[in-house]
Amino acid sequence: MTGRKQKIAICWFRRDLRLADNPALCVALDHGVPVLPIFIDDQGQDGQPQQGGASNVWLHNSLAALHKDLNESLVLFKGTPRAVFEQLKAEFELVAVHWNRMYEPEAIARDKALKQWFADDDVEAHSHNGSLLFEPWTIEKKDGGPYKVFTPFYKKGCLNAEPPRAPLKAPQQINAYEGKIDGAASLDELNLLPTRDWGKSIVEGWDISEAGARARWDDFAENGLFNYKEGRDLPGKPFVSRLSPYLHFGQISPHQLWAALDHYSQDRNVEHFRSELGWREFSYYLLYHFPTLPKENFQPQFEGFTWAKDELRVKRWQQGKTGIPIVDAGMRELWTTGYMHNRVRMIVASYLTKNLRQDWRDGLAWFEDTLFDADLASNSASWQWVAGTGADAAPYFRVFNPVLQGEKFDPEGEYIRTHVAELRDVPKSYLFAPWEAPKEMREKYGLDGTKYPEPMVDLKKSRQDALAAYDAHKNAR
């Protein structure tokens, strides 16, 4: 009969680029009609933010892998979801549309409006939980307000709440719609890769796929987890999972990790790893309840605080040319691998916001552009935490000493030597503070600025200046 439209259910992939433990996919398949798996690149459309360069590289590779895992049935679009769904509605009978939730303020607004639009048209549209262990609106203090401090949030809130659901198995078979779709884009047409070679070199060593995420977890579970509590602070050692970009893009879910941890004894390392997943939950929780977190000081007393705006300082920090070895190692690890160890993230963030007195939002923006795991929630919450402006933050006057941090957490200098080639042969005794080396040694290794820069600022003085600026601000209020 002419005019009868093909019935389909849509699974809209977003930050859940996996087949296992994907509630939206499972439910879409339950309708018993072909499922159309789609991804819409709506960056910059209708108020949606653009993500950074590294994230786009990760996304490109993830979509290629997901397409393969879906037997080449993933359909890509570029544009607003509304326009894409309008077109699909004209072409098909939409039995239902399913997606897993996102929590960024713009994404929430977009999804709410879409749900209403579908409802007005009698199209079933359902959102599911695919990326958080605890929905932010389910955890609240006794007085009904949101937590602002991590420990009670995690211990009283999360650990006493309904336990996270068990992960779902990957569907055994996917009955995917296989016809041609008008308006679909090719992966290259999404233009996610940069023109520079950086986009190629940065992915070396990463298997950007769902299988890659599982392999990463297996490796960490076997080799890193049992050393995690102390080992997680040592950037030169393989004791962290490096799962953050996979978690961000959903190639693995926190539910899968939470359940996998049950297979190990409840030792302090396992509990500690769970609590770090808890920090991820806390960041999303804060973003959900305080959507201005990426833009405004969480603590209002910092309003009007003057940051020493200096583009050159920020640039040298970005390039890993500050003259402080552990800081430069971190910034170069970031640029070459799309990742930076957590301990070093704290050190470089403290250096930028305290010693250089640059606005935490400048650091946030650079991380947003260069981290594979750039995540509005964790990035904003963490920058504000280090800057001292955030929820449950380290107080402003706690300034990391990057020399002591290097000596303590990279005692053999493996991490610095790996990332700062100019310092590879410098003896350990001067590796953390090369400006203190005798003149002959400084000349021999080019520590006088000929190969490796002298410190941009004096650490002691810049710390005092930062504290003085803070005191002045406090007293002026």
Identify residues 35-64 at the interface with ligand FAD (CB under 6 A): none
3-state secondary structure of 37: strand
Measured from the CB atom, the residue of 96 and 243 that comes closer to ligand FAD is: 243
Q: Which residues contact 231 (CB under 8 A, 6 or more apart)?
A: 224, 237, 239, 240
**Does the protein bind ligand FAD through residue 227 (CB under 6 A)?**
no
State yes or no: 262 annotated in a binding site: no
Between 243 and 262, how does the x/- string for binding to ligand FAD read (CB under 6 A)? xx--xx--------------
Window contacting ligand FAD (CB under 6 A); options: 52-60, 180-188, 242-250, 401-409: 242-250
Residue 294 CA, chain-centre distance (Å), reads 13
* Dist CA 260 CA 453 (whole Å): 46
Q: How far is the CB of 311 from ligand FAD (least distance, A)?
A: 20
Q: Which of 279, 289, 422, 467 binds ligand FAD (CB under 6 A)?
A: 279
**Annotated catalytic, 178?**
no
For residue 274, give the nearest of 363, 180, 154, 358 by alpha carbon.
154
Q: Which is nearer to ligand FAD, 94 or 247 (CB)?
A: 247
Size, binding site for ligand FAD by CB under 6 A = 27
Is 233 assigned to a binding site?
Answer: no
374 known member of a binding site: yes
201-209, 274-282, 308-316, 319-327 -> range binding ligand FAD (CB under 6 A): 274-282
Catalytic residue among 91, 106, 276, 296: 276
Any binding-site annotation on 373? Answer: yes
When computed from its CA atoms, the radius of gyration of the chain, rounded to whole angstroms, is 24
Q: Could you give the C-alpha distances from 193 to 16, 52, 58, 61, 265, in angstroms and in order?
A: 20, 11, 9, 9, 43
Token pair for 236: 């030169």
Least distance between ligand FAD and beta carbon 381 (Å): 7
Given the residues 117, 135, 296, 307, select the one marked as catalytic.
307
Minimum Å distance from CB 92 to ligand FAD? 37
Helix (H, G, I), strand (E, B) or coil at 12: strand
Residues 6 or more apart whose Cβ sits within 8 Å of residue 166: 255, 259
Check: CB of residue 70 under 8 Å from CB of residue 388. Answer: no
Q: Is 269 in the site for ligand FAD (CB under 6 A)?
A: no
User: Taking a C-beta distance cutoff of 8 angstroms, is the pair 102, 14 a contact?
Assistant: yes
Examine residue 283 and tell whether it contacts ligand FAD (CB under 6 A). yes
Token pair 């679909």: residue = 184
Tokens 């996979």: give the residue.
Answer: 246
134 binds ligand FAD (CB under 6 A): no
Interface residue with ligand FAD, options 342, 407, 418, 441 (CB under 6 A): 342
Least distance CB 293 / ligand FAD (angstroms): 13
For residues 355 to 394, the per-residue mask of contacts with ligand FAD, x marking binding by CB under 6 A and - elsewhere, is: ------------x---x-xxx--xx--xx--x--------
| Ramachandran sector of residue 428 (left: φ over 0; alpha: ψ -120 to 50; beta: rest) | alpha
Question: Contact with ligand FAD (CB under 6 A): which of 345, 354, 357, 419?
Answer: 345
What distance in Å separates the CA atoms of residue 22 and residue 99, rounded to the nearest whole number? 9
Complete DSSP assignment for 118-186: HHHTT--EEEE--S-SS-GGG---TTSSPP-SHHIIIIIIITTSPPPPPPPPPPS---B--S--TT-B-
Task: Check if 198 is active-site.
Answer: no
Given the residues 227, 342, 407, 414, the one annotated as active site:
342
Of the residues 132, 133, 349, 391, which one makes contact with ligand FAD according to CB under 6 A: 349
Per CB under 6 A, residues contacting ligand FAD are 232, 240-244, 247-248, 276-277, 279-280, 283, 342, 345-346, 349, 367, 371, 373-375, 378-379, 382-383, 386
Annotated binding site for FAD: 228, 273, 373-375
Which positions are annotated as active-site residues? 276, 279, 307, 342, 360, 383
